[in-house]
Structure 1
């Protein structure tokens, strides 16, 4: 649901942006989480109302939201926006606790989480789809496979399939990489691909999508998953449905043809204040949606 509230621009604040940009355009440091591993932009409050717009959550979305924040503050020097990752679950927990204005999530909020927001703040969380993505499975560029079925992906991540020869590849063991359980992408794959079953104990858990991509790029027998914007230096697998191989392209993701297409969300509590709403409006504006494309995700229609 998109709600566009119009209010006057906030009072003048001192511009302050400390952006922990990674060396690589779309990288996260191996440590992950809330530490220096997650790309972040932080800002201190200035004169005026003394309050920055805070955005916290999805590691999948952190680079996108960081770009929005940087460009928004260039055009609105009286506003500060601070962005941190940590995972969708971490962002929604912060929304429940009242420590962030906007939670970012690559999965839908759970009913229990929604009820916690309602109970504490006497207002329901509001969901806004701000970009589209396709969860993508990655293999090393030396791997000859170009596609797998959802059933094969499920078998690999449940641990029922442990050798590439069983899905048409070489006679070598599969090295499985996954995300931490606070990740919205972890939850999406668990629910959508694994049928809510548990991941294999053989899966190696990594703190962010960039760490997964880095691991797969170095391990010729590896497989991992993450958002489409991070697929650099590895091969994206298409999802095979019958005889058709469906790529995570913009057309297929926006139409819903790609089986693992999903929305990327902002969540707020009730009616946001003017400064928060104006940042949301920017993210959903034509300029904001152009940034979505530049980062490697896809605009909402």
Structure 2
């Protein structure tokens, strides 16, 4: 009996480190992934755990959390009815604005929400109609399934109903970029382009427009004055392993939320 107990103890000592070292898998929104990768890197350094972050898009992240193919899912849009089961919990880890961005050479600095919507519907086609040069507007959008696109369409009312189904109202001639980085590259290299990206991804390569006279800033998003904004959501099933729960606890801690703020997003606690 002593030998059996000794063997079980040895097995326990061998397997315990493996359990503790279980890799936390996170997949979904490319926008959320931007800050999630930084959170994962810092968590790994402090906790000695491994976190793998994959940018697959919000819709894919929601499915992954629901199906259990990923421990955690990421979404940068609100979750629709029927997308999740009752056992899946939504956790808002940050808030982010969506910036309408133009080339640095573009003299237009401010548009109304209605003007932006009309540009994306193809109803305003020339920059001269909104105070710019007499040049055609090059509309740039995100790919289907993108949480940023879904949130942008909802907020800007860029959807229409066809045969009882909601479809995008964005002009079909719009250029499509996969991810914030691609949108930035397209707009930064075309003086007549307009695109939309996560506010946390804005840099000196382009200009983030004021909307209705309100600049896209953390303070204006927090106050509700800048209205093109959305939540960053992490999805976790009730049966997710303890390692995933511990990582989420870190994300929601003061240290994790400080990283959120340092990366240009709005902390939620």
TM-score grouping bracket, smaller chain normalisation:
0.7 to 0.9
Q: Unaligned stretches of 5+ in structure 2?
A: 1-11, 161-168
Distance 2:13 2:106 in 1: 54
Q: Which residues in structure 2 correspond to 1:69-148 (within 5 Å)?
A: 69-77=40-48, 79-114=49-84, 118=85, 123-148=86-111
TM-score, normalised via structure 2 length = 0.87
Distance 1:53 1:175 in 2: 41
Distance 2:13 2:91 in 1: 27
Please give the root-mean-square deviation of Cα atoms over the aligned residues, in Å.
1.9
**Contact between 2:91 and 2:234, CA under 8 Å: does it hold in 1?**
yes
Q: Which has the higher strand share?
A: 2
Q: Unaligned stretches of 5+ in structure 1?
A: 1-10, 14-45
Distance 2:115 2:28 in 1: 30
More divergent stretch after superposition (255-264 vs 164-173): 255-264
More divergent stretch after superposition (105-114 vs 47-56): 47-56
Counterpart check, 1:298 vs 2:266: yes
If asked which structure has higher relative contact order (CA below 8 Å, sep 6+), I would say 2
**Contact between 2:158 and 2:170, CA under 8 Å: does it hold in 1?**
no
TM-score, normalised via structure 1 length = 0.78
Residue 235 of structure 1, aligned match among 191, 207, 223: 207
Report which of the two structures shows the higher radius of gyration computed on alpha carbons.
Answer: 2
Check 1:12–1:167 CA distance in 2 against 1; reply closer, same or farther (3 A cut). farther
Deviation at 1:270, TM superposition (A): 2.4
Check 1:58–1:12 CA distance in 2 against 1; reply closer, same or farther (3 A cut). farther
Deviation at 1:272, TM superposition (A): 3.7
Distance 1:180 1:12 in 2: 48
Deviation at 1:48, TM superposition (A): 2.9
Q: How many residues align?
A: 248
